[in-house]
Amino acid sequence: MFFGIKRIFLPLLFAASASSASAAMDLFSDDFQDDSIGTPPAITGSNVGDSFSPVAGSITVGANPETNGNTSSQVLRGGGVAANQNQIHAFFDGGSTSIAGITVAFDFYVSSSAGNSSDGVRFGLYNEAGNNNGYYWRFDRVGASIGYLNTATGNTHAGSDIWQRFSVTYAAGGAAGTYDLAWSVTNLETGSVVASGTIPGTNAFADGLAAGLILEVNDTNNGNDFLGYIDNVLVTAPEPTS
């Protein structure tokens, strides 16, 4: 049940009917409905992608804490354990691909459970050649701060205990090897965009390629309290032109 994804994918279908140049293909999509609660996710059923690979801490499939805005019965869950960083890699179908033109979108939920200012849901791209993560975004519990590369953007998301959808598109920048990031956060309970912007000229990977995502729930120095959730992950790229 890709409720968040429908809002992103249907416009792409309409655009594709108007022009083949604007067609998009899925590199990754997962709603975690085919997984077992309490276990790490896997690429099964109608999901698209290569694989998941745990990195640190514990991220498993769990019950949806709030169905207002996201009616999925189960989602990706992290936190509430001794580990500070709970991370998993989600690898794209087809391996590494150019960052230029890709769009990443997913639903996230930051719980109001006790924690500190570093707790929240985070996401980045993974580069296989350098074996490193980059283009990091963070959605904090305290202050509802939205950060990019550990710097506050000056924007806030809708707050705790609310399903929201983040979307970011990477377009080739003015200088070689750089990318302009157009992003937005939507409150899925109201359908309203609560924050958006453009970050120009960023560069993290020497080869300009991403092999997948790094999905993270950060629960710093608080072993058994903060929980974060992720759902309806979708990554698209432009169809190759002949």
User: What's the pLDDT at 15?
Assistant: 37
User: What's the pLDDT at 22?
Assistant: 59
Count structural domains, the chain.
1
User: What's the pLDDT at 1?
Assistant: 37
User: What's the pLDDT at 8?
Assistant: 37
CATH code for position 34:
2.60.120
Q: What is the C-alpha to C-alpha distance for residues 179 and 159, in angstroms, rounded to an integer?
A: 28
- Answer yes or no: is 197 within a domain: no
User: What's the pLDDT at 221?
Assistant: 66
- Answer yes or no: is 93 within a domain: yes
- Answer yes or no: is 25 within a domain: yes
User: What's the pLDDT at 4?
Assistant: 40
User: What's the pLDDT at 162?
Assistant: 98
* Domain region containing 59: 3-166+204-238
**Low-confidence spans in the chain with pLDDT less than 70:** 1-22, 82-83, 114-115, 221-224, 242
Global pTM?
0.88
User: What's the pLDDT at 225?
Assistant: 76
The torsion of the CA quartet 152, 155, 156, 157, rounded to 10 degrees, works out to -110
User: What's the pLDDT at 80?
Assistant: 74
User: What's the pLDDT at 17?
Assistant: 38
Q: Compute how many other C-beta atoms are within 10 angstroms of the C-beta atom of residue 189.
A: 15
- Answer yes or no: is 126 within a domain: yes
Greatest distance between any 2 Cα atoms in the chain:
53
- Answer yes or no: is 186 within a domain: no
